[in-house]
Amino acid sequence: MDFTREYAIGLDTGSDLSYREEFYIKEDGIYLDGNSLGLLSKRAEKSLLDLLDSWKHHAIDGWTEGDNPWFYLSEKLGKELAPIVGANPREVIVSGSTTVNLHQLVSTFYKPEGKRTKILADELNFPSDIYALQSQVKLKGYDPDDHLVQVKSADGHTLREEDIVAAMTDEIALIVLPGVLYRSGQVLDMEYLTAEAHKRGIEIGFDLCHSVGSVPHSLSDWDVDFAFWCNYKHLNGGPGSTGGLFVNKRHFGQVPGLAGWFSSRKDKQFDMEHVLTAAEDAGAYQIGTPNIFSMAPIIGSLSIFNEAGLERIREKSLKLTGYMIELIQHELDGHGFILRNPLDEKKRGGHIYLEHQEAARICKALKAEGVIPDFRAPNGIRLAPVALYNTFEDVWKTVQILKGIMEEEKYKQFENKRGVVA
């Protein structure tokens, strides 16, 4: 492969997917933290301002009037999100947050009975999921040390599907796994794991926070029972933007574990009855009043995704991460970096995960040079070249900057300690 800057520029010239001008990007910087918080797009900015304007002009009537009536916005965005996760529109709703939605879904699907009393998860998942699962086990009167089973990783970075399947014993009542591991970027075979779980009579759900918007899904066709995710990473919905969830239509009609005001069927909600008439689709899994201004940017952002098409986004994402891996292997050899991503692109998500014993201070040095990475304790550096707004030249520059930091030992001027927010 050609490792010159000219080659990178040529790759950009040959790309037919570029929405870079749609986003607010610092001219003198390279943003590679879209796997934690995506950049603001001009369309997302406009949709937020439009909903502020609807409050200004309609006041309370904004619930039923305007271009995006608030009362139906969760359902409307669910329909927009459905193609991105491969679902029937009625199976998706925009509501809550990642952890709130996980609590809701586990409260509904975790039904310990007889020997089946345990939840199966893994030891590499994001901490918040484990906190929630521990809480749910406790609420059922069990000890998480015994009833939350976490599949071990053979290498500390990836999971083997065969190990997960082996842990699907007759004691397991529910399975919750990540779609993409946040550390290594490994994509789990969700279709295979779902089929194996169902063979054993176990319901299964996935955390899609690190895969939604970067990896195609076919949740309905795979017959996944449920899924949940945030919309502020690859989907660029803004800090704290409202999350999303999927519930397979096979489960429509059951009362949600955590019923609330917006769990109601729309035509019954304002009858003010004290017996819930739950929505007959994924809307039943809403709890409280939707956070309209936290949902507003998602309107604009999703218009970009549905215009660009997720297959094209995935194709360019794989080219960007593949190019970055080749550059890292060529330019950074001998500098102490360990690449933790699977090299098989079918198993690789949208970000690169490097380990280095000086990772915290290397990330600070990158920031000082205008590159925004993501540090993960204790020694991880995540770099996400996002298909919609990053370029191959961004990738080339980043690796050259990183090479310079290592060769000139620029990182040594910083403390090897994470900030308050890593």
Residues 319 and 296 in one domain: no
Is 264 flagged in the annotation as binding? no
pLDDT tops 80 at residue 376: yes
Number of domains in the chain: 2
> How open is the CA angle 307-42-90, to the nearest 5 degrees?
45
Is 101 part of a structural domain of the chain?
Answer: yes
Q: What is the mean pLDDT of residues 214-231?
A: 98
The yes-or-no verdict on residue 422 having pLDDT over 80 is no
391 annotated ligand-binding residue: no
The per-residue pLDDT for 276 is 95
Annotated ligand binding at 129? The verdict is yes
pLDDT in tens, 264-294: 999 999 999 999 999 999 999 999 999 999 9
Which pLDDT band holds residue 16 (cuts at 50, 70, 90)? confident
Percent of the chain with pLDDT over 70: 100
Residue 40 in any domain: the answer is no
Give the domain-ending residue among 308, 325, 351: 308
Q: Is the pLDDT of residue 353 over 90?
A: yes
Mean pLDDT computed over 221-234: 98
The pLDDT of residue 402: 98
pLDDT reported for residue 73: 98
- 16 assigned to a ligand binding site: no
Residue 422 lies in a domain: no
CATH number of the domain that residue 62 is part of: 3.40.640.10
Do both 345 and 262 map to the same domain? no
The yes-or-no verdict on residue 367 having pLDDT over 80 is yes
User: Over the stretch 312-352, which tens digit does the pLDDT of each residue have?
Assistant: 999 999 999 999 999 999 999 999 999 999 999 999 999 99
Neighbours of 85 (CB within 10 A): 28
Nearest to 323 by CA among 406, 228, 395: 395
Q: Check the annotation: does 210 bind a ligand.
A: yes
18 is in an annotated binding site: no
Band the pLDDT of 214: cuts 50, 70, 90.
very high
Q: 395 with 284, same domain? A: no
Reduce the DSSP state of residue 381 to 3 states and report it.
strand
**253, 279, 308 — which closes off a domain?**
308
CA within 13 Å, CB half, 390:
34
217 is in an annotated binding site: no
Would you say 261 is a known binding-site residue?
yes
pLDDT at position 70, please?
Answer: 98
Domain range for residue 253?
A: 45-308
Q: What is the pLDDT of residues 172-198, one digit of tens each?
A: 999 999 999 999 999 999 999 999 999
pLDDT digits (tens, 9 = 90+) for 129-153: 999 999 999 999 999 999 999 999 9
Q: Please tell me whether residues 194 and 166 are part of one structural domain.
A: yes
Sequence-ordered alpha helix ranges (H) in 110-168 = 127-139, 144-147, 161-166
What per-residue confidence (pLDDT) applies to 18? 82
pLDDT value, residue 418:
86
Side chain identity at residue 325, one-letter code: I
Tell me: is residue 127 an annotated ligand-binding position.
yes
